Amino acid sequence: MTSALSLTPGEAGDVGLDADQLNVAADLLSGHVDAGDFSAASLFVARKGRSILSRGFGTLRPEAGSPAVDADSIFLLASITKPVTACALMQLVDKGLISLDDPVQQHLPEFTGWDKGQITVRQILSHISGMPDMLPQNTELRRAHRPMSAFVQGALHTNLLYLPGTDFSYQSKGILLAAEIVERITGQRLRNVEKAGIFQPLGMNRSCLGIDDFDISDTVWVGTSMDESPDAQHWGPNSAYWRDFGCPWGGMHSTGPDLGALLQCLLNGGLYGDQRVLSQAAARAMVSNQNPAHLDAPWGVGWALRDSKVWAFFGEQVSSRTFGHVGATGTVAWADPESELICVCLTNVKIQGGSLLRRVSNAVAAAVID
């Protein structure tokens, strides 16, 4: 097997990056931490197979004496989880166990009514299936600490928002159905499928769906304040229930360097070092527009593209081939195939319009000098 680039430490000048300009991006994050806008952040930048900047800012928890955030600190990613779920499904495509153009109903026979028979696996991964983002009973389910199976049942029987394939609407519940398909085909929990098939081959040793063997106290707190409502303490983003729930649309934990390895694998066409994680065909499909041109809503298989309508907070200075994803906890990860540049910016506050993520991304993209 031919080996491909795996991330190794390097110097900015060796890969055509301006170190001073990268510090501009880092200073944006450190300045916001110092101002109290959020209490934790990290920034990872790589180019041409070399990790150039990997730095943490702030503290794991917003309390006196909390350990400092470092380059390997673990953040709750929120929706960056979605394309990782898609990666697990695409591995099944490579094995001939499923096709993107299969009807979802073929694998989930209970998925009936409301034109659901028309929905394909491809459509639930590119947000044009008509599925809702959240279930009407989402809060009640979380408040009652219901298991994943209750969410799956809700998704199987929920009403569609529109006729499949006729519109675009960002939807977490389509991703949940994709995860359910993976679990039924493999007979395993998605978290175990991803650990064996994605995280371990890529050396993503500080990544997991759910909390795995890590302690919540050893991860970054979500939000700037620990003064939470009783509801938030019971089922919010820092609760033991939600951290280990492992929802396939937003429950993954990871670090900048780990996500960098995944992005480099996709830049390499599915190969990382000597590890083949995806076929070239699957990797290419994941970062190519899957939606009909007339919808004007480009999206890959799980991955957002630079010109996607929502969540593409990659800035304005990357090429049109750039792919990645953003998370509502204040996270973004992207790779630009034209410049071979990777950027992962993780914070611990909600996006609030994404301005900071775009500005950090722009500052990183501006570091390319040749």
Please tell me whether residues 14 and 112 are part of one structural domain: no
Q: Is the pLDDT of residue 5 over 90?
A: no
Residue 176 and residue 161 in one domain: yes
Boundary of a domain, candidates 187, 203, 236: 187
Q: Is residue 361 over pLDDT 60?
A: yes
Give the span between the Cα atoms of 292 and 106, in whole angstroms.
23
CB atoms within 10 A of CB 161: 15
pLDDT tens string 41-84: 999 999 999 999 999 999 999 999 999 999 999 999 999 999 99
**Stretch 308-334: mean pLDDT, rounded?**
91
Span 90-134, pLDDT tens digits = 999 999 999 999 999 999 999 999 899 999 999 999 999 999 999
Q: What pLDDT does 127 receive?
A: 98
Q: Quick check: pTM over 0.95?
A: yes
Whether residue 1 lies inside any domain: the answer is: no
Residue 141: domain span: 84-90+98-187
Residue 183 inside a domain? The answer is yes
Residues 143 and 195 in one domain: no
If asked whether residues 300 and 353 sit together in one domain, one would say yes
Considering the chain, what is the average pLDDT of its residues?
96
Q: What is the pLDDT of residues 193-218, one digit of tens each?
A: 999 999 999 999 999 999 999 999 99
> What pLDDT does residue 4 have?
79
**Residue 114's pLDDT is what?**
86
CA quadruple 345, 351, 354, 359: dihedral sign = negative
CA angle 68–70–72, rounded 5-degree value: 135
Beta bridge partners of 326: 332
Do 343 and 209 share a structural domain?
yes
pLDDT at 2: 56
Assign 1 a pLDDT band (cuts: 50, 70, 90): very low
Instruction: Give the whole-number percent of the chain exceeding pLDDT 70.
Output: 98
Residues 288 and 201 in one domain: yes
Do the domain assignments include residue 2? no
Question: With bands split at pLDDT 50, 70 and 90, how would you rate the model's confidence at 265?
Answer: very high
pLDDT of residue 313: 83
Domain assignment present for residue 149? The answer is yes
Residue 297 domain flag: yes
Question: What does the radius of gyration of the chain's CA atoms come to, in whole angstroms?
Answer: 20
Report yes or no on 205 lying in a domain.
Answer: yes
Quote the longest CA-to-CA distance of the chain: 58
Specify whether 30 is located in the same domain as 107.
no
DSSP, collapsed to helix, strand or coil, labels residue 46 as strand
The pLDDT of residue 336 is above 50: yes
Domain boundary among 153, 187, 221: 187
The number of folded domains in the chain is 2
Considering Cα of 134, then 139, then 142, then 144, what sign does the dihedral take? negative
Read off the pLDDT of residues 144-160 as tens digits, 9 standing for 90 and up.
999 999 999 999 999 99
Burial of 334 (0-12, 13-18, 19+ CB in 10 A): buried
Identify whether residues 74 and 105 lie together within a single domain: no
Give the type of residue at 362: N
195 and 178 in a common domain:
no
Neighbouring-strand partners of residue 57:
41
Instruction: Indicate whether 232 and 316 sit together in one domain.
Output: yes
Strands of the sheet containing 75-76, edge to edge, are 75-76, 252-254, 208-209
Q: Are residues 229 and 299 in the same domain?
A: yes
- The CA distance from 10 to 17, in Å, is 11
pLDDT in tens, 224-236: 888 889 999 999 9
Q: Which of 156, 187, 218 is the last residue of a domain?
A: 187
312 pLDDT above the threshold of 70? no
**Alpha carbon distance, N-terminus to C-terminus of the chain:** 31
Note whether 281 and 351 are same-domain residues.
yes
Assess if residue 178 is contained within a domain.
Answer: yes
3 in a structural domain: no
Q: Where residue 288 falls among pLDDT bands split at 50, 70, 90?
A: very high
| Range in 185-189, 201-205, 352-356 with the lowest mean pLDDT | 352-356
For residue 131, what is the domain's CATH number?
1.20.58
Q: Give the CATH number of the domain where residue 256 resides.
A: 3.40.710.10
